[in-house]
Amino acid sequence: MISPDRINQIGILTGGGDCPGLNAVIRAAVKTALIQNGWKAVGIEDGFEGLVGDGKTRSLVFDDVKDIIDKGGTILGASNRANPFDYRTCIKKKVVSEDRSSQLTDKLKELELDALIIIGGDGTLSIAAKMHTMGIPLVGVPKTIDNDIGATDITFGFDTAVNTATEAIDKIRTTGESHHRVMVVEVMGRYAGWIALNAGIASGADIILIPEIPFRLDEICRVIKDRIGLGRRHSIVVVAEGAKSEGGDIMVKRIVKNSPDTVRLGGIGKMLADKIASEISIEARDTVLGHIQRGGSPSAFDRVLATRFGAGAVGLLADGGFGRMVCLHNTRIESVPIEDAVRQLKKVTPELDIVTAAKATGVSFGI
C-alpha cells in the first residue's frame, strides 16, 4: 500500500443514491487537496461505473468546484448498479452478474490515482471495505438521508431531508385542519425511523410510526377517536416507509430484480389511510413525500458538516488512515474503520430521550 507522502493524485467518487451535501463534500475535498497538500484531484463519474464500467473521469480544479456548495445532487453523478464485486448487465433480457474487482488495481494505475475518497451509504461503504482488503488505499465519507450508518452521530443529508419533510407536513396540516381530515404522510428512511421521528416531532404530528416500534391499528384509531371527542377534528400521522404493524410485515412496493437493493418499500401510508377511513367516520388522505426528501439545496448544517467531512477525508489520507471513515463524534470529526461503520444499521431505540420527549408531549407511537 502506498505511503501517504507519496500521494500525488486522488480520486473522488459518489456512490448510491443522491443526497443534499454531496457537492459540498466534493468541493471541500478538492480544495483541501489542492491547497493543503498540493495533490491533484480526479472526479470519477457515476460511482463505481467510472472504475469498472463505461463511466468517465475528469480532472477537478478550483473552477470545477466553485459555487457548488449550495447545489443538491452530485456533479459527478451516482449509481447503485455498478458494484465491482457484483457487476450486473442485461444480456438478451437476462441479468448476468460478474466479479470485476480484479480490474480495480489496473484501472487505478491507468488513471494514475494513488488513493480514493469514496462517499456513500452503507452499500457503497461496504464495497469500499472490500476494496480496502485488496490493498487499495482509500477512505470513506458517510452519506445518507436515512441517518442509519453506524459509528457516526449523524450523516450529512439527514438534516435537509428532515427540514424538507417538516415543511411539507406543515403545509399538509392546513388542508387537514380546513377539511377535518386525517392526513397520513409517508416519509423515507428504509428500515430506520430517524426521518419520521424527527420530522414528526418538528411538525407537531399526533402519531408517529417507525419500523423500530411496531404499531397496532386499533390503538391508532383509538387516539384519533379520542381527539375527535375532544373537538380536534383533524390529525397528522407521520409514518416511515419501513413501519409495520405488530406481527405484520414491512410493505413492499415492488421488486427490482437487476438492482443490488432489490426491495423498494412503500404503500404503508395508503394502507393506513384506507384502514382509518374504514374504521372511523372521518376522511383520511395519504401523501407520499418520496424523492423530494433527497433533492434540493442542502441546509446550512449539512453544508458545514459536509465541508468538515470532505476536509477530514483528505486529512485522513494524508495521515495514512486508509480503510477508515470520517465520522462525527460529540461535535468532533474523528474516524473509525469502515468495516465497523457498516457492520449494522443504526436504528432508533425506544429508550432514546427523543422518543421519551415525544411521548411526554402526547405523541402516540401506535402502541
Residues that are catalytic = 146
DSSP string, 172-211: HHHHHHHHT-EEEEEE--TT--HHHHHHHHHTT-SEEE-T
- Cβ-based neighbour number of residue 109 at 10 Å: 10
Rounded CA separation 242/163 (Å): 20
Distance CA 347, CA 225 (A): 31
Polymer length of the chain: 367
CA distances from 248 to 153, 181, 216, 244, 252 (A): 30, 26, 10, 6, 12
Residue 198 CA to residue 297 CA, distance in Å, equals 19
Q: How far from the centroid of its chain's Cα atoms is residue 19's Cα?
A: 7
CA distances from 126 to 88, 160, 341, 342 (A): 17, 24, 9, 6
Nearest to 224 by CA among 169, 180, 166, 287: 180
Instruction: Quote the DSSP letter at residue 80.
Output: S
H/E segment holding residue 332: strand 332-337
User: What is the grid cell recorded at 33?
Assistant: 487537496
For residue 73, the tally of other CB atoms under 10 A from its CB is 17
Residue with cell 390529525: 235
CA count, 13 A, side-chain hemisphere, 258: 12
